[in-house]
Amino acid sequence: MKLHLPDVTLVAVDTVCHELIAHAIADCLDAVQFGAVHIHTDDPAPFARLGIDGVFSAVAPFTSLDAVMAYLWYEVPRPIETSHALIIQWDSGIVSPAQWSPQFLACDYVGAPWGWHGDDHEVGNGGFSLRSRALMQYVAAHRDEFPLGDPEDDFLCRRYRPALERAGFRWAPRDLALRFSFERTGFAGADGHFGYHGIFNWPRVFSFAALQERIALMLGNKYLNQPKHLGELLHAMKRHLAEDGRGASQPQELVGRPA
178/235 Cα distance (integer angstroms): 23
153 has a pLDDT exceeding 80: yes
Coil/strand/helix, residue 117: coil
User: Which domains does the chain carry?
Assistant: 3-199 (3.90.550.10)
Coil/strand/helix, residue 73: helix
User: DSSP secondary structure string, 15-69?
Assistant: SS-HHHHHHHHHHHHHHEEEEEEEEEES--HHHHHTT---EEEE-PPPSSHHHHH
Contact 99, 194 (CB under 8 A): yes
User: What proportion of the chain, given as a percentage, has pLDDT over 90?
Assistant: 80
User: What proportion of the chain, given as a percentage, has pLDDT over 70?
Assistant: 93
The pTM score is: 0.91
Q: pLDDT grade, residue 256 (50/70/90)?
A: very low
Least confident of 53-67, 99-113, 166-180, 221-235: 221-235
The pLDDT value recorded for residue 255 is 37
111 has a pLDDT exceeding 50: yes
User: CB atoms < 10 A from the CB of 93, how many?
Assistant: 24
The pLDDT value recorded for residue 247 is 52
51/144 Cα distance (integer angstroms): 40
Instruction: Report the mean per-residue pLDDT for the chain.
Output: 91
Least confident of 6-20, 189-203, 245-259: 245-259
Question: What's the whole-number mean pLDDT along residues 122-144?
Answer: 96
237/228 Cα distance (integer angstroms): 14
For the stretch 205-239, pLDDT in tens is 999 999 999 999 999 999 999 998 888 888 888 88
Q: Where are the alpha helices (DSSP H) in 84-220?
A: 133-141, 152-154, 161-166, 174-180, 202-205, 208-219
The pLDDT value recorded for residue 203 is 93
Using CB atoms within 10 A of its CB, is residue 207 exposed (0-12), middle (13-18) or buried (19+)?
exposed
Q: What is the dihedral of CA 158, 164, 170, 171, to 10 degrees?
A: -10
Contact 211, 203 (CB under 8 A): yes
Coil/strand/helix, residue 119: coil
Would you say the C-alpha torsion 49, 133, 68, 158 has a positive or negative sign? negative
For the stretch 15-47, pLDDT in tens is 999 999 999 999 999 999 999 999 999 999 999
171 has a pLDDT exceeding 70: yes
The pLDDT value recorded for residue 241 is 80
The pLDDT value recorded for residue 181 is 97
The pLDDT value recorded for residue 245 is 63
For the stretch 76-96, pLDDT in tens is 999 999 999 999 999 999 999
